Amino acid sequence: MYHQKISFIVLTGVLFFSTTLVAQNKVGNGLKAIKEEDLKKDLYEMADDHFAGREAGTLDELKVSVWWADKMRAAGLKPAGDDGTYFQFFSMWRNRISASSSIKINNRSFTLWKEVLVAQTAPANINAPIVLFENISKDNIDVKGKAVVVKVSKDGINLNVSLPERRYLGYVSRKYAPDLINKGAVAIIFIADDMAEKSWLQNVPAMRRGLYDVSSGPSENVSARAPIIWLHSNELNFVQSSSTLTANISVEHFEYPSVNIVGKIDGTDATLSKEYVLFSGHQDHDGIRYPYGTDSIYNGADDNASVSVALLAIARAFHQQPGKRSALFVWHGAEERGLLGSKWYSAHPTVPKESIVAVLNGDMIGRNNPDSAALLGAQPPHRNSIDLVNMALAANNEGPKFKLDTLWDKVTHVEGWYFRSDHLPYARAGYPAIFYSTLLHPDYHTPMDEANRIDIKKLARMTEWMYRTGWKVVNVIERPKLDPNFKLER
């Protein structure tokens, strides 16, 4: 009876058409290839201490990448990097404060990172009289040509953000420095308050490492700036009774390798298989840093082993049943150093740029409430393709049915989450791009971001959501269009 009824409907024109549409959109058999046990196994392996936090530019990143390529081959992915390999190597250029830098107040030398922090990676050569700037509201003192001592306070700084202690020193700089430098200060000496004292050790690893970029070549260097330095709170009396700051800060500039890992599953359609849906994640994390308790390995299980293993599962699904277009998978390197792998790949893709029809990026998809998730790039001004967003929303309705957060994609959200993952360079370069996330949690960028804190069931449903979206995009006749007038707020 049931079958008969269906065949009768299929014979009528309009319904025949809609049935065809349903058949075309129906998720592929590949969905069965996405398995919780695979996600869990891959996640525990990748986020193991063995890989020491997968820091970009280190042997740990190279080691995890080579190991990952073996897993890609086993999942059925073909190499799609350079020279017939799974790899696209690129150079990071790094600037860091030289250990030979010296900072003296009167005749006393301060030990770099222990007794003094240098908050900017910029050279400086200063010999300047010291003046105390007691109250930010009194601007009657002359700071021109002076090294200005500021006893900092957190008044007026919004600390209701992730990692407030790690971000505090930056917020303090923004609060005081521009005004003093505009008035002619040649150096700023911040005296730590309690919050800055807590912040100190957490900031040292990043300050020592310096700044990374992909764009600058060997001859390019950072220009000199008024140095911003930090002293401990107990130095106030000494500094107050001193007269001169002498700072000779030099910066080293050197090349450093990172790698994108790239594979593909060919599509089945003679024409459309020359186009690609790009699934994006990052394999790197923060390496070994400031310890919490006895643990100093930042394993990055949620950030971003969660998406790495999801992409591998999606590759297995496409291997099981390919779509019309090809599926391209990029595990970016050096995301944590400033979205460097995606900056590089979006400018130097290993397939023709115009053949990439959409970028589905994920970052941190295994935590928080089991029923909620977020899609970023879904609302103007972050949205660059309503076609792509609609496919992702339909995929959610057909599959995992997450309750979708809408606040984190707004311009007004304090975290600026949209700007913090690998879809961004693609969106800026004119690729339709969206970003899947289950958002922040207290273990973010700490050694506590471990595999045993990942909700594997939720991770599987997020994987399903990305796969279902991708399945629509690989098979849709007309590729998702870019919205006209896309312009980000920064």
Catalog residues that contact Zn ion under the rule CB under 5 A.
Answer: 303
Compute the least distance from the CB of residue 163 to Zn ion, in Å. 11
Compute the least distance from the CB of residue 105 to Zn ion, in Å. 37
Closest CA to 213 of 91, 303, 119: 91
Give the residue with the Cβ less far from Zn ion, 52 or 172: 52
Compute the least distance from the CB of residue 49 to Zn ion, in Å. 18
Which residues lie closer than 8 Å to 64 by C-beta, 6 or more apart? 46, 51, 54, 283
CB 86 within 8 A of CB 205: no
Compute the least distance from the CB of residue 50 to Zn ion, in Å. 20
The Cα–Cα gap between 174 and 157 comes to 10
Give the residue with the Cβ less far from Zn ion, 42 or 303: 303
Q: How do beta strands 372-376 and 403-405 pair?
A: parallel
For 89, the token pair is 């190597």
Compute the least distance from the CB of residue 288 to Zn ion, in Å. 15
Give the residue with the Cβ less far from Zn ion, 264 or 445: 445
Compute the least distance from the CB of residue 98 to Zn ion, in Å. 28
Compute the least distance from the CB of residue 80 to Zn ion, in Å. 25
Give the residue with the Cβ less far from Zn ion, 51 or 133: 51
Compute the least distance from the CB of residue 436 to Zn ion, in Å. 15
Give the residue with the Cβ less far from Zn ion, 202 or 385: 202
Tell me how far the alpha carbon of residue 56 is from its chain's centroid.
12
Q: Is 98 exposed, middle or buried (0-12, 13-18, 19+ CB in 10 A)?
A: middle
Compute the least distance from the CB of residue 407 to Zn ion, in Å. 20
Beta strands in 152-250 (DSSP E): 187-191, 211-213, 228-231, 244-249
The Cα–Cα gap between 294 and 482 comes to 49
Give the residue with the Cβ less far from Zn ion, 149 or 459: 459
Tell me how far the alpha carbon of residue 435 is from its chain's centroid.
11
Give the residue with the Cβ less far from Zn ion, 275 or 303: 303
CB 358 within 8 A of CB 473: yes
Residue facing Zn ion at closest CB distance: 303
The Cα–Cα gap between 196 and 167 comes to 10
For 248, the token pair is 């000779």
The two counts, helices (H) then strands (E), for the chain are 12, 20
Give the residue with the Cβ less far from Zn ion, 337 or 479: 337
Which residues lie closer than 8 Å to 317 by C-beta, 6 or more apart? 28, 30, 31, 32, 33, 34, 467
Q: What are phi and psi of 367, to 5 degrees?
A: -130, 180
For 412, the token pair is 């007004």
Place of tokens 């359609």: 269
Give the residue with the Cβ less far from Zn ion, 212 or 471: 212
The span from the first CA to the last CA of the chain, in angstroms, equals 60
Compute the least distance from the CB of residue 482 to Zn ion, in Å. 27
Compute the least distance from the CB of residue 386 to Zn ion, in Å. 28
Going from the C-alpha of 200 to that of each of 43, 110, 196, the distances in angstroms are 32, 15, 6
Q: What are phi and psi of 411, to 5 degrees?
A: -55, -35
Give the residue with the Cβ less far from Zn ion, 363 or 464: 363
For 430, the token pair is 């004119």
Q: How many beta carbons lie within 10 A of that of residue 355, not counting itself?
A: 15
Give the residue with the Cβ less far from Zn ion, 368 or 475: 368
- In the 8-state DSSP scheme, what is residue 65? H
Give the residue with the Cβ less far from Zn ion, 275 or 286: 286
For 340, the token pair is 């460097």
Place of tokens 């592929």: 28
Compute the least distance from the CB of residue 421 to Zn ion, in Å. 8
Q: Which helix (H) or strand (E) element contains residue 6?
A: helix 2-11
